[in-house]
Structure 1
């Protein structure tokens, strides 16, 4: 019992020390940092390998994928206090491309904090598009270079998903093209998604986290809405199917894990 009485003050002191360390950690999150988001494209539980592997969906369609490009935009980070940081709109449009290997984006000058969720759009919102060609900055040229526009009048391709497929009713390899975007104000397919990070992303002058995302290409056709390539292999402007593909695409993203690291990633 005497040993227990002697031990209690030591335990109490240790708890105080740990609490002080927690407070210190909170105080250390000052200044600004960079948040990187990497998009790891998959098909179901398999890595996505362009042209090298075939993947079967629930409709027994076997896909060989040659292109997966999509636009992500309008990023907002929410911290553990419920406060939000909205990334500057003019800089908040990115193209991720499995084809070119550009699947990582960086959000710079993010205020220090413990961030618990991320919100972003899939595509280009009407507000940005209605600024006209001169209001798009360098993003318009980037979209043209990466085959993410039909034309300025027709608008951006939010998603460019292409390859070949076979099925029980289509026995010869057949090209498929799934291009999804908005077509004027009458068909607005821009979607936003909010994802909990699971682990706090710590940002400061010395902390620059990496958020590892997974984008499941299978969800594009085989998500909440089932889209059959055997019925229609080319979908670009469809009042019926394009909005369903937009919903599916918004549902293909998950957060795999967060890596909190130190060092200058600016």
Structure 2
């Protein structure tokens, strides 16, 4: 008596399961057209919000920082879909300055082809190919960099990272200034890096889906990443054959995608 009820129940459950799976697949397969992808960079320090000039942060070596500036360049965005296909955002439009002090922490990439994107690759800084186009080849980005304290001079090049503030330590008891300016200085000291981040949830793009990718940024990694940088040893790092490449490597560790918001917004 029990068996004749169980079999129809199982059959009905299987139909419901496969119908649901098919429906999900259809939603992905039906993605078409194009739309914008927004990327929000949420700057923090070791799990805490980044509050410029009004909070202190302690490194593992007991140095205590007050951060007054965190600006960095991100560039050359590539979106990677579930099948491993890559969409490269137009290179000439792919350079952005993230500036906490100017409240400029979100970028917008328009006209992204429809798809289910599961990863993203981007550069930290300005690559040599772009720089070698000369001042005229930079477009309006050169002026934006100058206005945001992201240039030394045209010959010296861009600052990929401008990280400043004050610190104290066991040996430095009165607040002292620190300045970390990272860039590339010819082919012998090319600190341009690329990083790939996985998306915890697919970013869905279509005519009526315009996702926001929320990237968590941990500025603590710059000095307290795989390479430990002691400000008490050297508080101003600009062109340093040892520490500059170490900081550049640390910078690749400070990005992760916290979550993705697949909003139904049309933003062509």
Q: How many angstroms does 1:51 deviate by?
A: 0.6
Change (3 A) 1:20 1:102: same
Please give the root-mean-square deviation of Cα atoms over the aligned residues, in Å: 1.2
Q: Quick one: which of 223, 235, 238 aligns to 1:221? A: 223
Q: How many angstroms does 1:187 deviate by?
A: 0.8
Task: Provide the C-alpha distance between the structure 1 equivalents of 2:18 and 2:56, rounded to a whole number of angstroms.
Answer: 57
Task: Provide the C-alpha distance between the structure 1 equivalents of 2:241 and 2:117, rounded to a whole number of angstroms.
Answer: 38
Task: Provide the C-alpha distance between the structure 2 equivalents of 1:179 and 1:50, rounded to a whole number of angstroms.
Answer: 17
Task: Provide the C-alpha distance between the structure 2 equivalents of 1:12 and 1:91, rounded to a whole number of angstroms.
Answer: 49
Aligned residue for 2:151?
149
Task: Provide the C-alpha distance between the structure 2 equivalents of 1:9 and 1:217, rounded to a whole number of angstroms.
Answer: 54
Superposition pairs of residues 30-109 of structure 1, within 5 angstroms: 30-109=32-111
Q: How many angstroms does 1:16 deviate by?
A: 4.2
Aligned residue for 1:240?
242
Task: Provide the C-alpha distance between the structure 2 equivalents of 1:225 and 1:4, rounded to a whole number of angstroms.
Answer: 61
Q: Quick one: which of 16, 19, 31 aligns to 1:17? A: 19
> Secondary structure, in 3 states, of the residue corresponding to 2:187?
coil
Q: Quick one: which of 199, 205, 210 aligns to 1:203? A: 205
Task: Provide the C-alpha distance between the structure 2 equivalents of 1:132 and 1:85, rounded to a whole number of angstroms.
Answer: 26
Aligned residue for 1:191?
193
Q: Quick one: which of 94, 112, 115 aligns to 2:114? A: 112
Q: How many angstroms does 1:75 deviate by?
A: 0.5
Q: How many angstroms does 1:258 deviate by?
A: 1.1
Aligned residue for 1:160?
162
Q: How many angstroms does 1:185 deviate by?
A: 1.7
Q: How many angstroms does 1:119 deviate by?
A: 0.3
- TM-score scaled by structure 1? 0.97
Aligned residue for 1:261?
263
Task: Provide the C-alpha distance between the structure 1 equivalents of 2:189 and 2:196, rounded to a whole number of angstroms.
Answer: 22
Count of aligned pairs = 266
> Secondary structure, in 3 states, of the residue corresponding to 2:209?
coil
Structure 2, gaps ≥5 residues long:
none
